[in-house]
Chains A and B, each alone.
Chain A
Amino acid sequence: MTVQTPDAFSLVDGDLADRLRQLELFSRFRVEGLLQGPNKSPMKGFSTDFLQHRQYYPGDNIKYLDWRVYGRSDRLMIRQYEEVTNAPIRIVLDSSGSMQHRGESMSKWDFGLRTAAILLYVAFLHRDAFSLTTFASQCRTTIPRGSGKGHLLRCYRALLAEGAEGGTDFEDGLGRAIAGTNRRGLTIVLSDFMDDPKAIIKKISHLRFRGSDVIALQIVEPSEMDLDFNSVTRFHDLESGDIQAIDPQLLRRAYRDAFAEHTLALKESCQRYGFQHAELKVEDSFEVPVLEYLRWRMENFA
């Protein structure tokens, strides 16, 4: 299948945009937003959601005194409400050469690009502050946090201007990509994670320590999961150009096991550090996997 390169406005077209309106991106944890939004904030404010009572201290606005409590117990108590805010959402996309791998449908990069576009659009719909970072061996493109339609177009253009090439360095590339994240929010990492899962997760875990919610979306091309070749094959490394000539029949089982083991290790590491891990399989209907995932997340965590 030939995938035509989309322009910034066609990444999320009308039908898809309508379907995305029903979805939302939210953090399972409290986020430090600037505007009002659906996410809980660590701050206590005066919204409609009652949180707790607190002793009145001089200087507090008496508007928030709970007179009913005072009437019953003769104590001055301040009513505190939970503050809700918008979430700072960061999309981190792997643009290394390995993302160029193409199966029967689109390449992993094309799939990741469209998935990132969908996620950015969902963030845009809910007026979340969103940012985009791509990385390979190092951090390549960074669109700082912002919101609004203009910011979305800027992100889309950055995505379209990017190409998957070069090697991957999760230590340096991903490290730098997430280095500037100080505020608690939601970070979504889109990658095939073709490296040591423990090292990758260890690097991402810094975000979790800072209080951010992290989703590791692993982009998997189904043809990669198996060595379905009958004769001796020369496998070209898309990142370094190295060639591995092997008889796939002899390694098929081991490869399949290693792939499954790699995915499992990634999943376990994510669970251990409190991340969410999801496997997005590349297919022609690129929106289906991510939409299903978002729907599942809404049903389980909203």
Chain B
Amino acid sequence: MTYAFPAYLYALPAMAIPVILYLLFRRKRRDVPWGAIYILRKVIETRSKTTAWLQYLIIALRILALAALIMVFAAPHQAWTPPTDGSFPEAPRATHRLILLDTSASMTARVEGGTALDRALSLSRRLIASCVAPGQVDLLPLDGRDKTIAFNQLPVSESNLEEVIAECASTDGSAQVRRGLQKALDLFRASPWQRRELYLLSDFRAADFGEGQEGELARILKALAEMGVTVHGVRFASTETSNFALRSMAPAVDTLLANQPSLFRIEVGAYPTGANTDEQESILTLSCGDKILAEEIVALHSGTKTLTLPVKLPAGRHTLTARLRGDALNEDNELQRSYSVLPELRAIVVQNIVTEKGFDNPRNWLENALTNPPKQGSRRQQKHSSAAEAYAAHSQKVAQDRQTGRSNALHDLFSLSLEGKIPEQLSTELLQDAHMVILLDVDRLPVEILPALRRYVLRGGTLFLAPGPKTTRADFNKTFTSLAPSLLTTLRYDATKTDRYEQCLVEDSTHPLWQALESPQHGNLASARFYNYFNLSPSGAEQGSTTLLRLSDGAPLLQTRQLGRGRVHLWTAGLGGDWHSLVVHPGYPVLLIRLLQEGAARNAWPNNLAKGQPLLLASEGAQAKIIRPDGTSEIIAASMIDGRPFLRYDRTDTAGTYDIRFDLQSEKEGLLFHVISASSESDLRPLAADDEAALASTFAGSIQSTEVDLVQTVGESYGGPSLAILCGLAALVCFLLEAGLTRRVFL
């Protein structure tokens, strides 16, 4: 026998009250002289034995009545017997049952008998079906929308139940447990029902319950307990799983160059659960369409690991898919990203009219480094297998193919187009298609050009200022006051003193620009010597300029400034060979190509977006159909900007792939854009030991590891058929008998 409210059993000693009262009154006797003792004696002779027994019987009845009354409050039940058909114990009448359903991505992990979400939904169905009228049952998915599905008509019909259950799909991100519990608190506050039950169906992963929210959860659970809410938790997670997750995939710059090897940094996480401490292995495959670009075995105990895979792609728009071998949670084993691969980088080199030739002209250094392929068997080609080398090799091959007429777009390396102009030749039309504008030793510009140049930068263009030996500092400062990251101050050294030089240091090694440079393979900028350069005024930092490269004496070498969507770079040592040896350094072309590539990426609309970032692209028609990740589609109209149609789509609130089709009737896949969710939201990391202990303490052991345990726990709490009515009847009978015997027999 179990009790619904066993605390009332503490009142059982009250059964002694009748005996105590009897003994107290027996001791407190009084003396009375009595005349009719004859009758009294006669009564005593005839009734004494019967009276004594009745007296004890009355006391016994009083004790029994009190005991039965206490039992009524304690609400005893017969012992619970597990149902043979596996059904969930039927909820008592007037029960308000609230189911908090974790629909986070981690619930799609495989457990015994399907995914965790499938099993949670199955249990939800049984929980809802076992509710009877009068009562209420609510279902609240923990997806952060706070949308409660209420079933006020009980029992819930099968069709209604299936319809609701079908709507509960997994969502991106972690479960909003705190918000769900807070919502539950609000629901139960307004609940008219006496018995209240809260079921939390989750996998209790670190992503949902970690990060120190125990205090807040404990506060809410305490409030729920004070309201008489019984909390049951069910953990849908395998004890031992091997799980890998692809957390991120990104090249240094989102805009790639045709057939230029780009280093893709792919972060892989391993989150085994349970006591499995062996190193887990998986295979990472990077593919573009049907073509597998790279394959690598990943071996990890736990934690994250960043793999760097060189990938080269032909010109065009490509969607890359990184995929790990199937494991417990397949949802996070695949990443898709789209990249635009440019066939050409276009730069405009602006220089005053100069008479110098050869290496005295810095433009020649530029053209030599970027557009002239190295000769066969040169030392540079043999030694370096870098991006520059690859570029050089492919440039040579392309040049040869062009000569022989064997050009192939699939294998063609990107090309660099350096267009030389004098300042007076610059125009808005000319700037429109340039990925970068390089100003070589230019300290003056026509007044009408400056606004166009500024507008070019504001719209995403990149301006590279390279003052050199022929730059007049005052003129430069005067001309580029509003554009330059900083103003020039003084020359550091005399150019004739060649015995003193400085070295280049990267200010932030994690900057994407230097990822391909900071290795011996790709040329270390630190080996170049810098003999002279302009010092910069410290006012640059005030207007948001950042230093990317610094010399060993602390002076800035490359400073950049964000202006609108574009950037302005300021190179303080000139781009020719007058003040430094970088021009003969293998990193020189790579650095310039990087800056160009970064400029090109800045000029283009992103293919991979963060949540909420608007999706922008040039349209091919007046309308386009967008198929969202959840399968729904929308038709959006293009807007005309500068005479060209553009699409803008702002509802990028759901992570996943957005397919944009300009042919509204087409079933063929269109342009793919990807909205990226936070990498920490899709993993199966279990709770750390201290978090697990805190959770167990917070939930006071009410989390069950299996459904069978839950059924057992709930069933035992309900107990078998209630005996409270029988106890009530017994109490009533005892009271009536006692009253009858006391009033009718004796009085």
Binding site for B on A (CB under 8 A): 98-102, 108, 192, 194-195, 221, 224, 227, 229-239, 242, 244-247, 249-255, 258-259, 262
Task: Tell me, rounded to whole Å, the shortest Cβ–Cβ distance linking A173 to chain B.
Answer: 15
Q: Determine if B43 and A255 form an interchain contact, defined as CB atoms under 8 angstroms apart.
A: yes
User: Pick the contact of B34 from A237, A249, A262 — CB < 8 Å?
Assistant: A237
Task: Tell me, rounded to whole Å, the shortest Cβ–Cβ distance linking B212 to chain A.
Answer: 67
Q: Closest A residue to B26 by CB, please name it.
A: A232
Residue B641 lies at the interface, judged by CB distance under 8 Å to chain A: no
User: Pick the contact of A242 from B37, B39, B43, B745 — CB < 8 Å?
Assistant: B37
- Proximity string of chain B (165-185) to chain A, C-beta cutoff 8 Å, 1 when within and 0 when not: 000000000000000000000
A219 to B43, alpha carbons, bound, how many Å? 21
Q: Determine if B746 and A252 form an interchain contact, defined as CB atoms under 8 angstroms apart.
A: yes
A-B pairs, top 4 by smallest CB distance, nearest first, are: A101-B35, A235-B34, A194-B38, A237-B37
A249 to B51, alpha carbons, bound, how many Å? 10
Q: Determine if B32 and A254 form an interchain contact, defined as CB atoms under 8 angstroms apart.
A: no
A100 to B744, alpha carbons, bound, how many Å? 32
Q: A231-B29, A233-B30 are in contact. Are A244 and B37 (CB under 8 A)?
A: yes
User: Pick the contact of B54 from A102, A236, A250 — CB < 8 Å?
Assistant: A250
Q: Determine if B28 and A238 form an interchain contact, defined as CB atoms under 8 angstroms apart.
A: no
Q: How large is the interface on B (under 10, 10 to 19, 20 to 34, 35 or more residues)?
A: 20 to 34
Q: Which residues of A contact B39 (CB under 8 A)?
A: 194, 255, 258-259, 262
Q: Determine if A101 and B746 form an interchain contact, defined as CB atoms under 8 angstroms apart.
A: no
Residue B17 lies at the interface, judged by CB distance under 8 Å to chain A: no
A244 to B37, alpha carbons, bound, how many Å? 9
Residue B25 lies at the interface, judged by CB distance under 8 Å to chain A: yes
Q: Determine if B35 and A100 form an interchain contact, defined as CB atoms under 8 angstroms apart.
A: yes
Q: Determine if B55 and A247 form an interchain contact, defined as CB atoms under 8 angstroms apart.
A: yes
Residue B145 lies at the interface, judged by CB distance under 8 Å to chain A: no
B residues 1-51 touching A (CB-CB < 8 Å): 25-26, 28-44, 46-47, 51
Q: Which residues of A contact B742 (CB under 8 A)?
A: 249
Residue B747 lies at the interface, judged by CB distance under 8 Å to chain A: yes
Q: Determine if A194 and B30 form an interchain contact, defined as CB atoms under 8 angstroms apart.
A: no
A253 to B744, alpha carbons, bound, how many Å? 8
Q: Determine if B35 and A108 form an interchain contact, defined as CB atoms under 8 angstroms apart.
A: yes
- Which secondary structure dominates where chain A touches chain B? mixed
A192 to B37, alpha carbons, bound, how many Å? 11
Q: Which residues of A contact B746 (CB under 8 A)?
A: 249-254
A296 to B499, alpha carbons, bound, how many Å? 159
Task: Tell me, rounded to whole Å, the shortest Cβ–Cβ distance linking B42 to chain A.
Answer: 6
Q: Determine if A232 and B28 form an interchain contact, defined as CB atoms under 8 angstroms apart.
A: yes
* 18 pairs, A vs B, C-beta closer than 8 Å: A101-B34, A221-B35, A224-B36, A227-B40, A230-B25, A231-B28, A232-B28, A236-B32, A237-B34, A237-B37, A242-B37, A250-B51, A250-B55, A251-B43, A253-B744, A253-B745, A255-B39, A258-B43
Q: Which residues of B contact A253 (CB under 8 A)?
A: 744-747
Q: Which residues of B contact A259 (CB under 8 A)?
A: 36, 39
Q: Which residues of B contact A221 (CB under 8 A)?
A: 35
Q: Determine if B42 and A258 form an interchain contact, defined as CB atoms under 8 angstroms apart.
A: yes
Q: Which residues of B contact A254 (CB under 8 A)?
A: 43, 46-47, 51, 746
Q: Determine if B32 and A234 form an interchain contact, defined as CB atoms under 8 angstroms apart.
A: yes
A102 to B44, alpha carbons, bound, how many Å? 22
A245 to B37, alpha carbons, bound, how many Å? 12
Q: Determine if A98 and B745 form an interchain contact, defined as CB atoms under 8 angstroms apart.
A: no
Q: Determine if A194 and B35 form an interchain contact, defined as CB atoms under 8 angstroms apart.
A: yes
A123 to B745, alpha carbons, bound, how many Å? 47
A100 to B32, alpha carbons, bound, how many Å? 12
Q: A101-B34, A238-B33 are in contact. Are A231 and B25 (CB under 8 A)?
A: yes
B residues 702-747 touching A (CB-CB < 8 Å): 742, 744-747
Q: Determine if A234 and B47 form an interchain contact, defined as CB atoms under 8 angstroms apart.
A: no
Q: Closest B residue to A196 by CB, please name it.
A: B38
A201 to B744, alpha carbons, bound, how many Å? 33
Q: Which residues of B contact A99 (CB under 8 A)?
A: 35
Q: Determine if B41 and A236 form an interchain contact, defined as CB atoms under 8 angstroms apart.
A: no
Task: Tell me, rounded to whole Å, the shortest Cβ–Cβ distance linking A238 to chain B.
Answer: 5
A108 to B44, alpha carbons, bound, how many Å? 24
Q: Which residues of A contact B747 (CB under 8 A)?
A: 249, 252-253
Q: Which residues of B contact A230 (CB under 8 A)?
A: 25
- Proximity string of chain B (584-607) to chain A, C-beta cutoff 8 Å, 1 when within and 0 when not: 000000000000000000000000
Q: Which residues of A contact B51 (CB under 8 A)?
A: 247, 250-251, 254
Binding site for A on B (CB under 8 A): 25-26, 28-44, 46-47, 51, 54-55, 742, 744-747
User: Pick the contact of B36 from A192, A231, A234, A246 — CB < 8 Å?
Assistant: A192
Q: Which residues of B contact A234 (CB under 8 A)?
A: 29-32
Q: Which residues of A contact B37 (CB under 8 A)?
A: 98, 194, 235, 237-239, 242, 244
A256 to B745, alpha carbons, bound, how many Å? 11
Q: Closest B residue to A245 by CB, please name it.
A: B29
Q: A98-B37, A194-B36 are in contact. Are A251 and B55 (CB under 8 A)?
A: no
Task: Tell me, rounded to whole Å, the shortest Cβ–Cβ distance linking B744 to chain A.
Answer: 7
Task: Tell me, rounded to whole Å, the shortest Cβ–Cβ distance linking B211 to chain A.
Answer: 70
Q: Determine if B44 and A251 form an interchain contact, defined as CB atoms under 8 angstroms apart.
A: yes
Given A101-B33, A194-B35, A246-B44: 16 more A-B contacts, CB < 8 Å:
A99-B35, A224-B36, A229-B30, A230-B25, A231-B29, A232-B26, A234-B32, A235-B33, A238-B34, A247-B25, A249-B747, A251-B746, A254-B43, A255-B40, A255-B43, A258-B43
Task: Tell me, rounded to whole Å, the shortest Cβ–Cβ distance linking B43 to chain A.
Answer: 5
Q: Which residues of A contact B43 (CB under 8 A)?
A: 251, 254-255, 258
Q: Closest B residue to A225 by CB, please name it.
A: B36
Q: Which residues of A contact B30 (CB under 8 A)?
A: 229, 231, 233-234
Q: Determine if A236 and B33 form an interchain contact, defined as CB atoms under 8 angstroms apart.
A: yes
Q: Which residues of B contact A227 (CB under 8 A)?
A: 40
Q: Closest B residue to A235 by CB, please name it.
A: B34
User: Pick the contact of B38 from A195, A231, A249 — CB < 8 Å?
Assistant: A195
Task: Tell me, rounded to whole Å, the shortest Cβ–Cβ distance linking B557 to chain A.
Answer: 109
Task: Tell me, rounded to whole Å, the shortest Cβ–Cβ distance linking A55 to chain B.
Answer: 58
A27 to B137, alpha carbons, bound, how many Å? 94
Q: Determine if B29 and A233 form an interchain contact, defined as CB atoms under 8 angstroms apart.
A: yes
Task: Tell me, rounded to whole Å, the shortest Cβ–Cβ distance linking A180 to chain B.
Answer: 27
User: Pick the contact of B41 from A231, A233, A244 — CB < 8 Å?
Assistant: A244
Q: Closest A residue to B37 by CB, please name it.
A: A237
Task: Tell me, rounded to whole Å, the shortest Cβ–Cβ distance linking B203 to chain A.
Answer: 68
A192 to B41, alpha carbons, bound, how many Å? 16
A238 to B32, alpha carbons, bound, how many Å? 10
Task: Tell me, rounded to whole Å, the shortest Cβ–Cβ distance linking A170 to chain B.
Answer: 11
User: Pick the contact of A98 from B26, B36, B44 — CB < 8 Å?
Assistant: B36
Q: Which residues of B contact A235 (CB under 8 A)?
A: 32-34, 37, 40
Q: Determine if A101 and B36 form an interchain contact, defined as CB atoms under 8 angstroms apart.
A: yes
A99 to B33, alpha carbons, bound, how many Å? 11
A251 to B42, alpha carbons, bound, how many Å? 11
Task: Tell me, rounded to whole Å, the shortest Cβ–Cβ distance linking B24 to chain A.
Answer: 9
Interface centre among B26, B33, B46, B51 (most CB of A within 10 A): B33
Q: Which residues of A contact B41 (CB under 8 A)?
A: 244
Q: Determine if B28 and A236 form an interchain contact, defined as CB atoms under 8 angstroms apart.
A: no
Q: Closest B residue to A164 by CB, please name it.
A: B35
A284 to B694, alpha carbons, bound, how many Å? 85
Task: Tell me, rounded to whole Å, the shortest Cβ–Cβ distance linking B33 to chain A.
Answer: 5
A141 to B200, alpha carbons, bound, how many Å? 100
Q: A246-B44, A250-B746, A253-B745 are in contact. Are A98 and B29 (CB under 8 A)?
A: no
Q: Which residues of A contact B745 (CB under 8 A)?
A: 253
Q: Determine if A192 and B35 form an interchain contact, defined as CB atoms under 8 angstroms apart.
A: yes
Q: Which residues of A contact B34 (CB under 8 A)?
A: 101, 224, 235-238, 244
Q: Which residues of B contact A231 (CB under 8 A)?
A: 25, 28-30
Q: Which residues of A contact B25 (CB under 8 A)?
A: 230-232, 247
Interface centre among A239, A244, A247, A250 (most CB of B within 10 A): A250
Q: Closest A residue to B46 by CB, please name it.
A: A254
Task: Tell me, rounded to whole Å, the shortest Cβ–Cβ distance linking A226 to chain B.
Answer: 10
A102 to B746, alpha carbons, bound, how many Å? 24
Q: Which residues of A contact B44 (CB under 8 A)?
A: 244, 246, 251
A164 to B44, alpha carbons, bound, how many Å? 25
